[in-house]
Amino acid sequence: MAELNFSPGDEIVLRLAHEEVRGIALESPESSIVMLKLSSGYNIGISKENILGCEVVKKNLVSKLKKEEIVKNPELPSIGLVITGGTIAAKLNPKTGGVHWLTDLDEFRRFYPELFKVTNVKTIIVPFMTSSEAMTSEHWITIAEAVKPMLDNDEIKGVVVTHGTDFLHYTGAALSFFLKNLNKPVVLTYSQRSIDRASSDANLNLQCAARMALSEAAEVMLVGHANLDDDFCYALRGNKVRKMHSSRRDAFKPVNTEPIAKVWPDRVEYISSFKKRNEGKPELDADYSDKVALVKFYPGQDPSILDFYALKYKGIVVEAAGLGHLAPAEARHSWLAALKKHIRAGFVVCAAAQTINGRLDPYVYSNGRELVDAGVIFLEDMLAETALVKLGYVLGHYGWKKSIKDKMLENFAGELNEKLSV
């Protein structure tokens, strides 16, 4: 049996009879077993009797961190920071192999020292710490309420919000609607791997997010890796972006539009048009109804599902096929009669593209024209997730009850690309 000189949290390579296994050493509940967290995220146990050799590739990052005093440089521009959780605000727990939140602000500073060397973080707010899949519309409102005073503070040049990845694009859409008349950048960022892992994407994402927060773009944006390398990031409009991969560091892609900019830690290269930084007065308008749902249409789907939604909700966004198609009048499970009945009763039905990319056009085929006549609102090239958030926002404004269609088709914050062809 080989001599094993490592500590929990170290990155090690174990040499076995027929393979080498690389991972982060965890505390083991049994003295005869070495526990490893693999790059895939899975934990494995290896009997010490089977280990022929051990190499420490990288010592525990946590143990090497020194507590440094953060000295503010008055010559550096200031940003505001809102920490809400997610992998970017987490570290590996070597006892369990899971992650723990970086709730201690000094610890956050020690993990991200580069951020504090290029900008003054004037205000740090931690309204909550949670994963994005645990969020509700109340969390979106809380984030908007945390950001608003920073927009009013002339000393703060922009705002960075750290967030979990899975439902980040929902929050981006919500903030783009809740924060009206933006005067400076609001930048959401994330990581797919925690900061104490060798393959972490967190540092570059956060540095680029801070750089974009100092930029000229007065938009709600998402900033993250542009590719698999640590080259640069993209700044993407917050309501025209979607997570398109479960684990890649460049998981987020723009949809039906171009990135706003390429971003490096020290510079920004603009790619497409954007709303510019200004002296306007931002407004917080976060009235919202959560009685909305997102429904994916599939062949043979029973239209009685509409009865359920109409009973409990005020409106739905249906991910329709192709140019905006649902089961037509002649289909065995036609949706047409059910749609007409519920829409006449005040239930709102919107259609977004199931294909993700492209624009709906209900006038190409008779199927689409029937749905228009039934009262379905076709949302052009709007992302389904953005459409869901916007529908909740519109229905939350009771004064808009008679103009719901007009409001859904009004381009509030760049969620519609009016230049995109079918």
* Residues designated catalytic: 87, 165-166, 243
CA distance 99 to 91: 5
How far, in whole angstroms, is CA 144 from its chain's centroid? 15
Among residues 352, 397, 384, 396, the alpha carbon closest in space to that of 371 is found at 352
- Distance in angstroms (rounded) separating the CA atoms of residues 317 and 395: 13
Kindly compute the dihedral angle of the four CA atoms of residues 42, 43, 44, 48, in this order, to the nearest 10 degrees. Answer: 150
Q: DSSP secondary structure string, 105-130?
A: HHHHHHH-HHHHHHSEEEEEE-----
Looking up tokens 């020194």 gives: 66
Distance CA 202, CA 102 (A): 13
Contact criterion met (CB below 8 Å) for 7 and 1: no
Q: Is 42 strand, coil or helix?
A: coil
Confirm if 258 and 274 have CB atoms less than 8 A apart: no
Largest CA distance in the chain: 77
Residue 61 corresponds to which tokens in the numbers above? Answer: 């990052």
DSSP conformational letter for 267: E
Residues 334 and 306: their CA atoms lie apart, in Å, by: 12
Alpha carbons 7 and 316: distance in angstroms, whole number = 53
